[in-house]
């Protein structure tokens, strides 16, 4: 299957700083990318949908000013956690989707995740 | 909220078939059934998806009931490396969103 990478895999930062996480589709063009958050022993929670060249769509309850998403190219989306606090510590996972020629429906490919720890 | 329900946990003996059920009674006409799994501290891995016909690939088989209100994922010969959380989800062809439920923790035992 297609490969999605995330960078960094782990990050530790001080409270109040901002952290940027990159999500890249390595061998296909992703017109749509999704960002998820996962707390320990819980399921993945969808945060936002990111479409190339347009503003992200956030799920209810997700602060768009705190979690800035940019999808500037067909292979890269970034999530910036602004003014991070300890409660933002979590596992952040992205996924990418290639709609394919004619809008064919394809599966999402997930990145390996980024473990964020805010001290 | 997730639109699927799965048992929280299941055990399976190594080498035997693992049958993981999923209920999705409110599925709509344009929604596909998707299965993913997540091994501890990794990103989810795609397994299989289907609309209404049964599907098979190198990893698993997906059996969807005729009324599409439930499905079963079959791992034909489970190995220890198949121990993971298995998620059954409905995916819309319009939005592409996948909403994760709590999944089934499958423990494959020697």
Helix (H, G, I), strand (E, B) or coil at B7: coil
- The per-residue pLDDT for range A57-68, each reduced to its tens digit, is 999 999 999 999
Alpha-carbon torsion, ordered A62, A116, A94, B108, to 10 deg: -110
By residue count, chain A amounts to 119
- The per-residue pLDDT for range A16-59, each reduced to its tens digit, is 999 999 999 998 888 889 999 999 989 999 999 998 888 899 99
Closest alpha carbon to B71 in B51, B57, B94, B85:
B51
Return the higher-pLDDT residue of A117 and A3: A117
Residue B104, pLDDT score:
97
CA angle B52–B58–B61, rounded 5-degree value: 35
Q: A10 CA to chain B: closest CA distance, Å?
A: 12
Q: SS3 for A56-75, per residue?
A: CEECCCCCCCCEEEEEEECC
What CA–CA distances, in Å, run from A50 to A67, A76, B9, B26, B76? Answer: 12, 10, 33, 27, 36
Q: What is the pLDDT along chain B (110 residues), one digit of tens a residue?
A: 568 999 999 999 999 999 999 999 999 888 899 999 999 889 999 999 999 989 999 999 999 999 999 999 999 999 999 999 999 999 876 777 888 989 999 999 99
Residue B2, pLDDT score:
64
pLDDT surpasses 50 at A76: yes
Residue B28, pLDDT score:
87
Instruction: Let me know: does B24 contact B3? Beta carbons within 8 Å.
Output: yes
Site from A40, A58, A104, A105 to mutate, B interface, most B CB atoms within 10 angstroms: A105
Find all residues with CB under 8 Å of A60, minimum gap 6, and list them: none
Chain A neighbors of B102, CB-CB under 8 A? 43
pLDDT surpasses 50 at A102: no
Interchain CB distance below 8 Å, B101 and A4: no
How many CB atoms sit inside 10 A of residue A56's CB?
A: 21
Q: Is residue A14 very low, low, confident or very high in pLDDT (cuts 50, 70, 90)?
A: very high
Residue B26 phi/psi, 5-degree rounding, is -100, 20
Whole-number Å distance between alpha carbons of B74 and A42: 24
Chain B neighbors of A4, CB-CB under 8 A? 43
* Partners of A58 in the β-ladder: A48
pLDDT surpasses 80 at A106: no
């Amino acid at each position: 299957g297609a490969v999605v990478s995330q960078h960094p895999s782990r990050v530790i930062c001080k409270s109040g700083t901002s952290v940027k996480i990159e999500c890249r589709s390595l061998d296909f063009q992703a017109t749509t990318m999704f960002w998820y958050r996962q707390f320990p022993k819980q399921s993945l929670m969808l945060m936002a949908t990111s479409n190339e060249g347009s503003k992200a769509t956030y799920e209810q309850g997700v602060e768009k000013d705190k979690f800035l998403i940019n999808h500037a190219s067909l292979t890269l989306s970034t999530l910036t956690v602004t003014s991070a606090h300890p409660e933002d510590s979590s596992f952040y996972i992205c996924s990418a989707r290639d709609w394919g020629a004619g809008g064919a429906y394809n599966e999402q490919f997930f990145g390996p995740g980024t473990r964020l720890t805010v001290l | 909220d997730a639109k699927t329900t799965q048992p929280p946990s299941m055990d399976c003996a190594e080498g035997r078939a693992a049958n993981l059920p999923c209920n999705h009674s409110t599925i709509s006409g344009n929604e596909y059934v998707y299965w993913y799994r997540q091994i501890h501290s990794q990103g989810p891995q795609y397994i299989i998806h289907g609309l209404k016909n049964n599907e098979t690939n190198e990893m698993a088989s997906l059996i969807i009931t005729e009324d599409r209100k439930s499905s079963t994922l079959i791992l034909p010969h489970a190995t220890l490396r198949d121990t993971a959380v298995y998620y059954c989800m409905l995916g819309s062809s319009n939005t592409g969103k996948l909403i994760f439920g709590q999944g089934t923790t499958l423990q494959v035992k020697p």
